[in-house]
Structure 1
Amino acid sequence: MLSQLTVQHFAIVKFLELDFHQGMTTITGETGAGKSIAIDALGLCLGARADAGMIRQGTDKAEVSARFNLSDTPNALTWLKNNDLENSLSDNANECLLRRVITREGRSRAYINAIPVPLSQLKSLGQLLVNIHGQHAHQSLLRSDIQLSIIDEYANHQQLLQKVKDTYQGCHFLKKQLQQQQLSQQEKQARKQLLEYQIIELDEFALAENEFSEIEAEHKKLANSGALIENSQKSLNLLTDSDEVDALSLLQKSISLLESQVQHDNKLTNILESLQEAAIQIEEAGYELRQYCEQLELDPEQFEQLESRLSQAMTLSRKHQIQPEMLYSFHQKLSKEYQQLNNSEAQIEQLTIELDNAKQDYIKHAQKLSQSRQRYAKELSKKITKSIQKLNMEDGQFEVAMTQHDADSLSPLGIDGIEFQVAANAGQGLQNLGKVASGGELSRISLAIQVIISQRISTPTLIFDEVDVGISGATAAVVGNLLRQLGESTQILCVTHLPQVAGNGHQQMTVNKHSDGKSTNTMMQLLDETQRVQELARLLGGDSITEHTLANAKELLIVNS
C-alpha cells in the first residue's frame, strides 16, 4: 500500500508530505483548492507524462516521491527482484521508493529505490501498485473498446487476449505477403514481357562473369600490337640480338677484361661478380623478350571481333544505365526475377494455404476468448444490476449484449462486438447505455462497475478521483458505504465533494489553498474528529455552518464509527 507521498514544487504545491494508512481515506476541499493535485503528483510518480508546466512558478524543477509497503504485494516484490531493483537502502526489505524529477528544460528522470530507471519500468511497476479511476470514467464508458476492456479486466483475460493478438499478427503478416504477391495480372504480364525481351538480348550476348575486364585488356593489347612488336624487337636488338654491338656483348667484353686483371687486385672480385650476374639477367631477359616477340602478331580479325564485342557491351550498359562491368550480375538478377514471376502462382498457392491455417488458429483462440467473455458477461451483468439497484435505481436492469463479427473481419481484440444495455425504469426494455442513461445514472453505473472490477484485481491501492460526480442524496450514502466496504480489504483514496462519502472514510484529509498576493500554495492535512465534523458541516451547509449542520455532520461520523 501507499504509505507516504512527498511533493516539492509541483503545480501550486511548495512542499507537501503526507502519510497514508490502510482503509478508506477521503480527500475534500473547496472547489479550486486542488483536491486532485496529490493524485496528479502520484500519477507522475507512477510514470504519467511529464510537462514543464507542472513545475511551480519561480522554481527550476519539481520532485515527487512515493513510498510503498509491499508486505501484501508479493507480485511487486517479485517484479523488483526480477529487475534487480530490490531495496538495499532500507532496513525494511518490503519498502519501495519511487521518485520522479522533472526540470524546467523538459527533462525527466525516474528512480526506483534510488536506482535510475527508464520510464517504462516505472510504469510497469506502477501498474502493480496503484489503480486510478478518474472522474471522467463514466464518459469513456460509452465506447465499445472500453466496454470490451472492462469484460476482459473483470475476467482476467490477459493470457487469452495475448494468444489472440499473437495469432492475429501472424495472419496480418501472411496477408500482407500474399497481397504483395498478388499483383494484378496485367502488371505481372507487362513486367514479364519486358524481362523476357531483356533476358533474350542478354542471353544472345552471353557475357561471362569477369569477361568484360578480359575483353577490355585484350583489346587494349591488340590495339597497340604494332608498337609493341616494333619496340620489343628494338629492345631485343639492343640487349642481345644486334649484328654489330649490343648490351650483352659489351658486358661480356667488360667481364673478360676484368677477369684478366682480378689476379692482380682482388678488389675487382665484387665488381666482376656483379657484372657476371648482370650478364646472366640480361641473357634471361633477352630469352623471354625473344619468346614474347615470337608470340606477338598482328591479328586484324581477332581485333575486329574484340572491338565488336566491346562495342556491344558498351551499348547494352548504356541501354540499362549500368556500368559495363555490372552486365553479368544484372543479367543474373533479371533471370532470377523472371523465375520468381514464373513461380509466383505456386507461392501464392502456398501463402494462401498458410494464411488459411493461420486464420483457423486465430479463430480457435478467438472463439475460446469469446466463450469466456460470454460467461463472464452474464456474471458481470447480474452483479452490476444488483449494485445499481442499491444506488437508487431500484428497477434498473443492466446487461452486456455480445455479438460476433464476420469470421473474415480479424481484430487483435477478437471476434466479439459488445454493447452495454440498460433499462433504468420498470417496464422499459433494454437499450443502448448511451441512449437511455442520464448523466447521474451513467455515473452510478460507472461507479458500480469500477467497484466490482476493483474487487477482482490485486492492486493494493485504489484511487477514486471524484467518481461520485452526478450523485447526491441517499445514493451518495450508499456510494460511501460501498467504498468503505471495499476499503476494509484494500487501501482506498477517494477525492470527493459529497459529505455522505467523506463521512464514510476511515480517515479524512482536507485541501486548502492560500495566497499572499504574490504566490499561491496548496496544503493538505489529516483531520481529527472535531475537524472532520467541521469539514463535513461545510460540505453540508456551505459557508453557513449551523448547529443543525454540525449535528448532521456528527451523525455521519457516528454512523461510520
Structure 2
Amino acid sequence: MLMHLQVRNFAVVRQLTVDFQAGMTAITGETGAGKSIALDALGLCLGDRAETDSIRAEAEKAEVIASFQVPHKSPAAVWLSENELMDEEEPDHCVLRRLITREGRSKAWINGYPVNVAQLKQLAPLLVNIHGQHEHQLLTRPEHQLELLDAYARHSHLLSEVESAYQQWYQLRKQQKEALQKQEERQSRAQLVRYQVEELDQFALAEGEYTELELQHKRLSNSSALQEDSQFALNALYEGEHNNAYSLVQTALLRLEEQLSIDPQLEPAVKLLGEASVQIEEAARELRLYSDGIEVDSDLLVQVERRVTQAVQLARKHQLDPEQLPKLHQQLSEELAELEAAEAKLADSDEQVQAAAQHYRKVAAKLSKQRQRAAQELGEQISTSMRALNMPHGRFVIAVDHQEQAPATRLGTDSVVFQVTTNPGQPLQALAKVASGGELSRISLAIQVITAAQLTTPTLMFDEVDVGVSGATAATVGKLLRQLGQNNQVICVTHLPQVAAKAHQQLRVDKTTDGESTETQMTALDHDHRVIELARLLGGDTITATTKANAAELLATGS
C-alpha cells in the first residue's frame, strides 16, 4: 500500500509531504484547490509522461517520491526480485523516485537503482490502480467493455493461452503464405538443380579421380616411349651383352678386392663399388617390373581421353576447375534435398495450419464460456448496485456473442456488449444509447467498485468518480468505497460529504496565494477538523451550528 508521498515543485505545489494509512482515505477541498494534485504527482512517479509544464514556475526541476509497503511474495515483490530491484535492507518496502528538469530530461529510480520509464510502467499496475473521473466516457467503447469483463473474470491464464494459440496460428499462416509466394521460384530452381545433379550423378567423378585420370592419360599417351627408354636403361645397366654397367662394376670390384691385401686404403672404394653393384641390380629389377607393367592399350587411352574431356567440358559449364566437380556435386545434392524438403513441408503446412486453427478455436471457445459465466455474475452484481444507486428498476446485462468462425484476434472471437434498462417496460439496449449522463456516471462507478474488488492491486485510487451523484445515492457510494477499503487501501478524491464521512481518514487540500505565487498544501484532519470540513461541504463557506451538527451526525453515522 502507499505509505508516503513527497512532492517538490510540481504544478502549484512547492513542498508537500503526505502520510497515507490503510483503509479508505478521502481527499476533499474547494473547487480548484488541486484535490487531484497528489494523484497526478503519483502518476508521474508511476511512469506517466513527464511534461516540463508541470514544473512549478520559479523552479528548475520537479521531484516526486512515493513509498510503498510491499508484502512478501506479492506480485510487486516478485517483480522487484526478478528485476533485481529489491531493497535488501527493507525487502517489504519500495521507494519510487522521479525527477524532471526544465530542459525536458527525466530520471527515475526504484529503491535507489536507476531505471527507465518502461520499468516504472511495468511495476505501476502491481502497486496502484487509478480510476479517473472520466472513466465513464470509456464505458461505451466495446474494447473497454471487454477489458472490464476480463479484469473481473481474472482469467489472465486463459487470455495468455488464447494469445499464444493466435500467435502460433498467425505465424504458421504467415510462413505458409511466404512459402506459397516463393513456390514458383523454388520449383524452377529445383528443376534446374535436379537436372544438374542427375548429370553429375551419371558422370560420378570421385574425389581426386581427375588427378588420377590426368596421370593415367599421360602414361597411356607415352607408353611406347616409356617402354623403349626403360628397356634401353635395363640393357645398359644389366641385361646388355657387352659392357653393361653391372658387369663393369663387378669386374672393377673383383680386381680391387685382390689388391686389398696389399693396400687397405682401397677398402672405402671397394665398399662403395659393392653398394653400387647392389643398387644397379635393384634398379634393374625395378625397371624390369616397370617395363613389364607398361600398358600399350589404345582402347583404354580412348576411354580415359573421353572421361577427361567430359570432365573439362562439365567443369567449364559450371565455371570451375575439374577438380572441384565432386564438391559441386555434393553442394547441389544438398540444395536439391533442401528444396524438396521445403516442398514437402509446404504440402504438410495445410495440416499444421488447420491443426493450429482448431486449437485456437478450442481455447477461444473455452475463454468465451468463462466470459459468459463472469458476464452473468457481473451483470447481476451491477444490477444490484444500480438499484442501490437510485435506479430502482435498473437491470444490467453483459451480452457475450461467440461465433466460431469469427475473425481471429489475440483476445478471442467474442463480441461483448453492455446492455442496460433503467425504466419499467424498457427493453435492454446498448449502454451508450440508453443511459443519461448521470446514470452512466453511476453505472460506471458501480462497475469500477465491483471490478476493483477483484483486483490484487493493494492500492485503489478514485478521482472524483462520484460526479453526478448526490443525496442518499452519495451515501451508498461512500458505503461501497468503505467496504472496498476493508481489503484494499482506497484513496478517493471527492466533493461529496456523504462519501468523505465514510472514510477512515480524511485529507483536506488548500490553495493559498500571496498575490505573486500560488501554493497547494494537503493536511490530515482530526475528528474536529473533519466535522468542520464536512460542514463546509454541506453548507458552503458559511458554517453554522446546524451544518456542524449535521456534519457531526454524518461523520458518526459514516464511521
- In the superposition, the TM-score normalised over structure 1's length comes to 0.72
Paired residues for 1:454-493 under 5 Å: 454-493=452-491
In structure 1, what residue type is equivalent to 2:441?
S
In structure 2, what residue type is equivalent to 1:108?
K
SS at match of 1:98: strand
In structure 2, what residue type is equivalent to 1:315?
K
CA contact (8 A) 2:315 2:325 kept: no
Q: Deviations along 1:133-155, whole A, 9 cap, x unmatched? A: 12222122122232223223223
1:132 corresponds in structure 2 to 130
CA distance in 1, matches of 2:71, 2:207: 76
Task: Quickly say closer, same or farther: Cα 1:109–1:219, change in 2 above 3 A.
Answer: farther
- Please say if 1:111 is aligned against 2:120: no
CA distance in 1, matches of 2:509, 2:543: 24
In structure 2, what residue type is equivalent to 1:68?
Q
- Please say if 1:418 is aligned against 2:419: no
CA distance in 2, matches of 1:317, 1:102: 67
- Please say if 1:438 is aligned against 2:436: yes
CA contact (8 A) 1:208 1:328 kept: no
SS at match of 2:28: strand
Task: Quickly say closer, same or farther: Cα 1:559–1:103, change in 2 above 3 A.
Answer: closer
In angstroms, what is the RMSD of aligned CA positions? 5.6
2:154 corresponds in structure 1 to 156
Aligned pair partner of 1:195 in 179, 190, 193: 190
CA contact (8 A) 2:406 2:413 kept: no
Task: Quickly say closer, same or farther: Cα 1:434–1:206, change in 2 above 3 A.
Answer: same
Report the alpha carbon displacement of residue 433 of structure 1 after superposing the two structures with TM.
0.2
CA distance in 2, matches of 1:343, 1:458: 46
Report the alpha carbon displacement of residue 446 of structure 1 after superposing the two structures with TM.
0.7
CA contact (8 A) 2:474 2:499 kept: yes
CA contact (8 A) 1:13 1:56 kept: no
Aligned pair partner of 2:97 in 97, 100, 103: 100
Aligned pair partner of 2:339 in 325, 337, 342: 337
1:23 corresponds in structure 2 to 23
CA contact (8 A) 1:497 1:539 kept: yes
Aligned pair partner of 1:546 in 537, 542, 547: 542
CA distance in 2, matches of 1:14, 1:209: 89
1:276 corresponds in structure 2 to none
Task: Quickly say closer, same or farther: Cα 1:314–1:434, change in 2 above 3 A.
Answer: farther
CA distance in 1, matches of 2:405, 2:302: 76
1:59 corresponds in structure 2 to 60
CA distance in 2, matches of 1:213, 1:393: 95
CA distance in 2, matches of 1:388, 1:403: 24
CA contact (8 A) 1:24 1:483 kept: yes
CA contact (8 A) 2:498 2:554 kept: no
In structure 2, what residue type is equivalent to 1:479?
V
CA distance in 2, matches of 1:79, 1:327: 56
- Please say if 1:556 is aligned against 2:555: no
CA distance in 2, matches of 1:30, 1:50: 27
CA distance in 2, matches of 1:89, 1:386: 47
SS at match of 1:448: helix
CA distance in 1, matches of 2:440, 2:24: 24
CA distance in 1, matches of 2:381, 2:528: 38
2:254 corresponds in structure 1 to none
Q: Deviations along 1:163-221, whole A, 9 cap, x unmatched? A: 3334444444444444455x27xx74675355324422442245989979985998899
1:507 corresponds in structure 2 to 505
- Please say if 1:313 is aligned against 2:310: no
- State which drifts further: 481-490 or 376-385: 481-490
How many residue pairs get matched? 531
CA contact (8 A) 2:532 2:551 kept: no
Task: Quickly say closer, same or farther: Cα 1:206–1:49, change in 2 above 3 A.
Answer: farther
CA contact (8 A) 1:213 1:325 kept: no
Q: Deviations along 1:314-367, whole A, 9 cap, x unmatched? A: 43349xxx999756514531353145436743x246425633xx62x4444443
CA distance in 2, matches of 1:138, 1:410: 28
Task: Quickly say closer, same or farther: Cα 1:194–1:97, change in 2 above 3 A.
Answer: closer
CA contact (8 A) 1:54 1:62 kept: no
Report the alpha carbon displacement of residue 447 of structure 1 after superposing the two structures with TM.
0.3
CA distance in 2, matches of 1:419, 1:87: 45
Task: Quickly say closer, same or farther: Cα 1:75–1:305, change in 2 above 3 A.
Answer: closer
Task: Quickly say closer, same or farther: Cα 1:329–1:488, change in 2 above 3 A.
Answer: closer
Task: Quickly say closer, same or farther: Cα 1:212–1:107, change in 2 above 3 A.
Answer: farther
The runs of 5 or more residues in structure 2 that have no matched partner are 222-235, 237-263, 266-278
- State which drifts further: 118-127 or 362-371: 118-127
SS at match of 1:456: coil
SS at match of 1:560: helix
CA distance in 2, matches of 1:409, 1:330: 43
In structure 1, what residue type is equivalent to 2:479?
N
CA contact (8 A) 1:134 1:466 kept: yes
Task: Quickly say closer, same or farther: Cα 1:558–1:222, change in 2 above 3 A.
Answer: farther
CA distance in 1, matches of 2:401, 2:36: 39
Task: Quickly say closer, same or farther: Cα 1:61–1:324, change in 2 above 3 A.
Answer: farther
SS at match of 1:441: helix
CA distance in 2, matches of 1:523, 1:326: 83
Report the alpha carbon displacement of residue 421 of structure 1 after superposing the two structures with TM.
0.5
Paired residues for 1:127-276 under 5 Å: 127-180=125-178, 183=180, 188=183, 191-193=186-188, 195-206=190-201
Task: Quickly say closer, same or farther: Cα 1:190–1:547, change in 2 above 3 A.
Answer: closer
CA contact (8 A) 2:535 2:550 kept: no
CA contact (8 A) 1:174 1:354 kept: no
- In the superposition, the TM-score normalised over structure 2's length comes to 0.72
In structure 2, what residue type is equivalent to 1:559?
L
Paired residues for 1:371-386 under 5 Å: 371-386=369-384
2:248 corresponds in structure 1 to none
2:38 corresponds in structure 1 to 38
CA distance in 2, matches of 1:26, 1:330: 78
- Please say if 1:6 is aligned against 2:3: no
Q: Deviations along 1:466-503, whole A, 9 cap, x unmatched? A: 21233345433432333234334432211123344334
In structure 1, what residue type is equivalent to 2:16?
L
Task: Quickly say closer, same or farther: Cα 1:10–1:207, change in 2 above 3 A.
Answer: farther
CA distance in 2, matches of 1:505, 1:203: 88
Q: Percent identity?
A: 39
CA distance in 2, matches of 1:461, 1:317: 75
